[in-house]
Amino acid sequence: MRPNDRRYRESHEWAQKQGDVLAVGITDHAVEQLGDLTFLDIKAKVGQKVKAGDLIAEIESVKTVADIYAPMDGEITAVNAPLGQDVEPLGQSPFEKGWIVKLRPASAGAYDALLDAAAYEKVVAH
């Protein structure tokens, strides 16, 4: 079972409440599917307004490249710039060290609409 202190999207992002902002990352399942990670290109900038589904980063592995999306509407309040230099902490620890951006949600209800850990488990099991 994955951590139930946060919510998930079917596209394998997670979002965790940290005060009035959400930390956003990708799941261990996404990391495993990508294989050896080589580079994280964080496209989002601090202060940028994003909509749910907007591209916030691209992640590269030896075999492929994948898009990472904003889980909801909001404003970017921080980016994990060191991961752009060295993506390894994300690969080692996607739920703890792997946060990619922090975002102040535009509405309070958006977080609750995401999948809880049990529902995400079913997505991954398919």
Residues that bind another protein (CB under 8 A): 32, 35-36, 38-39, 41, 58, 60, 62-65
CB of 62 to another protein, least distance (A): 5
CB of 61 to another protein, least distance (A): 8
Length of the chain: 126
Tokens of 46: 């601090």
Residue with smaller CB distance to another protein, 85 or 108: 85
Residue with smaller CB distance to another protein, 4 or 64: 64
Residue with smaller CB distance to another protein, 46 or 65: 65
